Amino acid sequence: MTSKTSYILDTDPWYDPDDLFSLLYLLNSNATIDLIVTGDEVGTGRAELTKWFLEEIGMPEIKVVAGAKLPGPTKLFCQDLLPNKLYDVSGNVADEIAKVVGGSDRTVYMGIQAYSNLDLFQQTHSSLSDKVTLYQMAGSLDPSRKKAEHNVRIDIPAAKRVMASRIKQYLVMADTTLNPKFEVSNQHPLYNFCRQHSNAGIRAIAKNIDQFNGAIGYWTFMHDPLTVSAALGHNFVDFYQANVAINDQGLMKLDDRGSNIFLSKKQSRDDAFMQNFSDTIMRGNYK
Ligand SMILES: [Ca+2]
């Protein structure tokens, strides 16, 4: 009997463009995406724009459910691309995740935003937690940090609860991904590939890169795609097991009393990753 592995992408696209790059990378891999859930939502804008994007690149059948909203300020780029059309992105996010997890032997959960949706799932369907392996882009052990890493900071209670849960977890930390090798600026071949593409969905990524840079003042780094690469079984980044504690400000440190999880090593095979990532994106067939 073959065992079924399912894949869930939990994402906050249309802010940092590395989410859309992650999605494209995944769509060109051997994995089949069973469900996309969005977080840090702006209404249901992130989910609806993602549905539009999937339609544009010829993958309209993938289910997208709008997930948790958060109280803090947030940004949604490329809103003007949303056509005057209704997309069904409704559903109870925890129940939708549970349906996928319950229907397979193992679920690879790719968390490339805050922990909010996964936290709702593990609180309401804790008996399924053992079937989930989480690959999460989040956190940092850099002691000079004054502010916690973004994906932890915007929902600290959720990060704490998931870290303490029974879910097996691999953390790709900012200490690994804040590496200039992972930058995609408007000088990068991937930017030009997107900007000049005949497909409106792919062109939207270049627009997202420009708008992100305009608002934030720096270029996007491929934090999320590296996390997805680990979830897909590539070995561009190595992990070690450690006990981690997280304080009320979301700052992390090694602590024997903390949760036992896998952490990314600071050094990665960055050149090999960027080559594989760029080649995968550029050889994709987008309708
Ligand atoms: Ca993200």
CA of 18 to the centre of ligand 1 (A): 7
Is the pTM higher than 0.85? Answer: yes
CA of 2 to the centre of ligand 1 (A): 32
CA of 45 to the centre of ligand 1 (A): 15
> What are the distances in angstroms from CA 210 to CA 116, 127, 162, 177?
28, 43, 34, 21
Domain count for the chain, please give it.
1
CA of 1 to the centre of ligand 1 (A): 36
Q: Is 229 within a domain?
A: yes
Task: Provide the β-strand partners of residue 35.
Answer: 8
Q: Is 208 within a domain?
A: yes
Which residues hold their Cβ within 5 A of ligand 1, which is an ion? 12, 19, 112-113, 224
The position carrying tokens 């539009």 is 52
pLDDT single digits (tens) 77-108: 999 999 999 999 999 999 999 999 999 999 99
pLDDT single digits (tens) 239-271: 999 999 999 999 999 999 999 999 999 999 999
Q: What's the token pair of residue 179?
A: 């590496």
Q: What's the token pair of residue 252?
A: 């992390």
Give the domain CATH number at 112.
Answer: 3.90.245.10
Q: Provide φ and ψ at 135, rounded to 5°.
A: -115, 110
Decide: residue 123, CB within 10 A, 0-12 exposed, 13-18 middle, 19+ buried.
middle
CA of 17 to the centre of ligand 1 (A): 8
Q: Which amino acid does the sequence have at 200?
A: A
CA of 287 to the centre of ligand 1 (A): 25
> What are the distances in angstroms from CA 155 to CA 70, 96, 113, 140, 244?
7, 21, 10, 15, 17
Q: What is the pLDDT along the chain (287 residues), one digit of tens a residue?
A: 578 999 999 999 999 999 999 999 999 998 999 999 999 999 999 999 999 999 999 999 999 999 999 998 899 999 999 999 999 999 999 999 999 999 999 999 999 999 999 999 999 999 999 999 999 999 999 999 999 999 999 999 999 999 999 999 999 999 999 999 999 999 999 999 999 999 999 999 999 999 999 999 999 999 999 999 999 999 999 999 999 999 999 999 999 999 999 999 999 999 999 999 999 999 998 87
Q: Which domain holds residue 172?
A: 5-282
Q: Is 183 within a domain?
A: yes
Q: Is 287 within a domain?
A: no
What DSSP string describes 3-29? PPEEEEEEE--SSSTHHHHHHHHHHTS
